[in-house]
Amino acid sequence: MEVFDALFGRRSIRKFTSQPITKEEVQRMLSAAMAAPSAGNAQPWRFVVVTERALLDTLHTVNPYTAMAKQAPLAIVVCADVNAEKYKNYWVQDCSAAMQNLLLAVHAMGLGAVWTGVHPVQERVAGFSTMFALPENIVPLGIAIIGHPDQSLPPHNEYDATKVHYNQW
Amino acid sequence: MEVFDALFGRRSIRKFTSQPITKEEVQRMLSAAMAAPSAGNAQPWRFVVVTERALLDTLHTVNPYTAMAKQAPLAIVVCADVNAEKYKNYWVQDCSAAMQNLLLAVHAMGLGAVWTGVHPVQERVAGFSTMFALPENIVPLGIAIIGHPDQSLPPHNEYDATKVHYNQW
């Protein structure tokens, strides 16, 4: 798939078929995530790959916007190891870039995903930390719910000239 | 360019030729940035396109890591309008996803860029706000220095299995 087709064609997919996702596909999307830039090249991202049905079915108890995980074969929690940072407090940016790479890779593979926020909502951070037994230095940024799409959304171009300023605001 | 070639081929480019970048190219990369996902689809991103030589030459006074802008024809400051948020404090994630889309588009167009951090270093935020006359509700996240590359870096695959956990940490 061509880059711009992926950039404009990636949409938030919330309906999935029951078709499973292979280990090779998971590794491919994680490779894309890990190719993101990071402050000082610290690469503080860490990942929890969620495939257990019981976990996917109860994700909504720690984040109410993840109910679609009940129909999905896969979710990936993008976390940061805050002890791995070279320049402090850039982990949100680093891990967001990794998440965006992951979403684009998912789309390019013919799969679909939706990014659901965890950080900075403290009760969600606490819920995910308990559910996935995260150590204290590991902070969950967000979760991608992933599967074979059972819905089709058209490409979008949101270009808005009023959001662009030249040299001075 | 194929998506995975862009994901693995995008590198931080810090050396540029003097060749200018067209308005059409700037609009194309900004369109890619604006196609990123955002919390509640609030699209809080705003952009300052920097082409004035005097500004590019003095960027290093507000961020010491932007000295390469003296050789670049273009920089884009990615900002957030924090008043445009639907869900509070997701703007860093939204604007980081937009920045990553922009970097991938730049690479796919045969150009090069480096993402340099502004937020959350408060003196940099203050310096950029003054230099670009940003209103109080506009926060600069980071800046991409962009140009025709005068260096060539090989594709990279940073996959690291020790960063991946399954179902439980």
Q: Which domains does chain A have, with CATH numbers?
A: 3-152 (3.40.109.10)
Instruction: Give the tens place of pLDDT for each residue, A69-113.
Output: 999 999 999 999 999 999 999 999 999 999 999 999 999 999 999
Instruction: Give the tens place of pLDDT for each residue, A41-51.
Output: 999 999 999 99
> Cα–Cα distances in Å, from B117 out to A27, B40, B87?
29, 25, 23
CB contact under 8 A, A165 and B47: yes
A128 CA to centre of own chain: 14
Full DSSP string of B109-158: TT-EEEEEEBTB-HHHHHHHHHHTT--TTEEEEEEEEEESBSS-------
- Predicted ipTM? 0.98
* Stretch 1-60 of chain A: residues touching chain B, C-beta under 8 Å: 1-4, 6-8, 10, 12, 27-28, 30-32, 34-37, 39, 43, 45-52, 55
In which residue are the tokens 């890591």 written? B65
Query: What CA–CA distance (Å, rounded) separates A34 from A52?
Result: 23
* Stretch 119-138 of chain A: residues touching chain B, C-beta under 8 Å: 120, 132-135, 138
Instruction: Give the tens place of pLDDT for each residue, A108-138.
Output: 999 999 999 999 999 999 999 999 999 999 9
- Reference A163, options B17, B81, B156; nearest CA is B81
Query: What CA–CA distance (Å, rounded) separates B30 from A137?
Result: 35
State the pLDDT at residue B68: 97
As a whole number, mean pLDDT of residues A157-168 equals: 97
Taking contacts as CB-CB distances below 8 angstroms, the residues of chain B near A138 are: 169
Return per-residue pLDDT of chain B as tens, 169 residues.
999 999 999 999 999 999 999 999 999 999 999 999 999 999 999 999 999 999 999 999 999 999 999 999 999 999 999 999 999 999 999 999 999 999 999 999 999 999 999 999 999 999 999 999 999 999 999 999 999 999 999 999 999 999 999 999 9
Query: What CA–CA distance (Å, rounded) separates A7 from A11?
Result: 9
Q: Whole-model pTM above 0.90?
A: yes
Query: What CA–CA distance (Å, rounded) separates A8 from A58?
Result: 32
CB contact under 8 A, B167 and A30: no
Which residue from A minimizes the CA distance to B115? A37
Amino acid at B4: F
- Reference A144, options A54, A84, A63; nearest CA is A63
CB contact under 8 A, B169 and A133: yes
Amino acid at B71: Q
State the pLDDT at residue B142: 98
CA distance B85 to chain A (A): 14
- Reference B95, options B115, B75, B73; nearest CA is B115
Taking contacts as CB-CB distances below 8 angstroms, the residues of chain B near A27 are: 159
CB contact under 8 A, B3 and A1: yes
